[in-house]
Amino acid sequence: MAQQYPEWIWQNGEIKPWKDATAHVMSHALHYGSSIFEGIRSYVTPEGAAIFRLTDHLKRLYQSAKIYDMVLPYSQDQLAAACREVIRKNGYSAAYLRPVAYRGLGGFGLSADTPIDVAVATWPMGPYLGPEALEVGITACVSSWQRFAPNTIPAGAKAGGNYLSGQLIAREARRLGFGEGIALASSGLLSEGAGENLFLAFDGVLHTTPASASILAGITRDTIKVLAREDGIEVVERDIPREYLYLADEVLMCGTAAEITPIREIDGKQVGSGKAGRLTRRLQELYFGLFNGKTQDKWGWLEPV
């Protein structure tokens, strides 16, 4: 079936038809991975459509830009307005938003100071890891590919080039018949999923890998930390050896796209009861509660479209 695309996209200051948002084949980003981006969701809430943690996502976009000396020609407020505008123009309420900034056409050298082009796309998105994933969980494998070492490519920037690593991990998992791949860091300790952070539960305590394990410190990861602590659940950030994946009572993956997805089996070994565990269920209830009105948004995370 032919892919259906949204009608409108925002690029370099204007809303235009999707097909007109093009880049030159000699754009720096296409050759060298020099793009930075965000993935954001909007939800339907009792108060109307809201973009979840828009300000925090855009803040991370500007942090990624800083790492790569990219000066965006728009302010954070202008990009926030662009995100709202492109959702409204397409007539969406629950959607995925993809702001991207990239080195465009303007010189052939690696260190060329090219113009920075910016676009914001949006499209409807259901559960990222499959329709049943949130309910029954997914299978995962530990990848034969490690994440890049901290002194090679900064994992803390959400840059296009980083996702060569994610593609190797996710494609290997898919080829082997698993729902998602999990990577170790160059230290040999656990890092994160191809495009998701990890939480493991032991005796009622949540454990997650630290920034030093070559992870992107996710906004969903932060949301879980805040919601869990608020609910009296202890959360620790710590180095985690691979075998703890097999011994944990529960393991979950989280991210804007993946939301909170239980993992029921890793490397062919059942995780806990093989079903979404008590803490995973509670975190899902609290997380999705933000959007159905059952969890009070004390933090101003829901930003109206």
> Does 216 participate in binding ligand PMP (rule CB under 6 A)?
yes
Residue 39 as a binder of ligand PMP (CB under 6 A): the answer is yes
Comparison of 196 and 250: residue with beta carbon closer to ligand PMP: 196
196 contacts ligand PMP (rule: CB under 6 A): yes
209 in contact with ligand PMP (CB under 6 A): no
Interface with ligand PMP, residue 259, by CB under 6 A: no
Select the residue interacting with ligand PMP from 195, 262, 272, 277 (CB under 6 A): 195
CB of 170: closest distance to ligand PMP in angstroms?
Answer: 10
Whichever of 57 and 104 has its CB closer to ligand PMP, that residue is 57
Q: Does residue 255 bind ligand PMP (CB under 6 A)?
A: yes
Candidates 77-85, 120-128, 188-196, 287-295: pick the segment binding ligand PMP (CB under 6 A). Answer: 188-196
In the complex, residue closest to ligand PMP by CB? 218
Instruction: Say whether residue 197 binds ligand PMP (CB under 6 A).
Output: yes
* DSSP-assigned states of every residue in the chain: -PPP--SEEEETTEEEEGGG----TT-HHHHH--EEE--EEEEEETTEEEEETHHHHHHHHHHHHHHTT---SS-HHHHHHHHHHHHHHHT-SSEEEEEEEEE-SS-SSTT----EEEEEEEE----TT-TTHHHH-EEEEE-SSPPPPTTTS-TTS-BGGGHHHHHHHHHHHHHTT-SEEEEE-TTSSEEEESS-EEEEEETTEEEE--GGGT----HHHHHHHHHHHHTT--EEE----TTHHHH-SEEEEEETTTEEEEEEEETTEE-TTSS--HHHHHHHHHHHHHHHTSS--TT--EEE-
CB of 78 to ligand PMP, least distance (A): 21
Give min distance, CB of 144 to ligand PMP, in A. 17
**Residues 92-121 within binding reach of ligand PMP (CB under 6 A):** none
Q: How far is the CB of 26 from ligand PMP (least distance, A)?
A: 27
Residues at the interface with ligand PMP (CB under 6 A): 39, 166, 192, 195-197, 215-216, 218-221, 255-256
